[in-house]
Amino acid sequence: MTPMNIRIEKQDMQTAMLIETDLDQIVAENFGDICEALAKHINALVELQNLQYQNIKADEVVDIIRKSGDANEASERLCQKLNISMAAAQLVLKTPLSGLDQMLDSSYLDSKIEQHMGSIQAVIWPLFSY
């Protein structure tokens, strides 16, 4: 999927309609990729949610990361030791260490999953509203 840059020079209804049309076209052309990316992210969040049932704490995750030589090694070690996917490991590594407690909190993860499900609905719903 190609990155998108939008610059709005004037704020009127015609510009808004043009951007909406362009976004509709971009979504239509990349629909599968968009849904796949959202689904992978939701699956990663669910995997992190499952760590709570295994009583994995943020301190353990931080310890794995700190004992790793670099980000690649940290990803691999997180996958092996916590039995999570590379997508979930990458999500953990993108989170500041100080934010891991919040990230591994079930209410936070529930809200993120709900938010991404809403994103999927926002992408899919317009396709059926014509």
Confidence (pLDDT) at 69: 94
How high is the mean pLDDT of the chain? Answer: 79
Q: Is residue 130 part of a domain?
A: no
Find all residues with CB under 8 Å of 73, minimum gap 6, and list them.
Answer: none
Q: Is residue 39 part of a domain?
A: yes
67: domain CATH number? Answer: 1.10.268
Q: Is residue 6 part of a domain?
A: no
Question: Rounded to two decimals, what is the model's pTM?
Answer: 0.65
Per residue in 80-105, pLDDT (tens digit) is: 999 999 999 999 999 887 788 887 88
- What range does the domain containing 94 cover? 13-125
Report the domain count for the chain.
1
Q: Is residue 1 part of a domain?
A: no
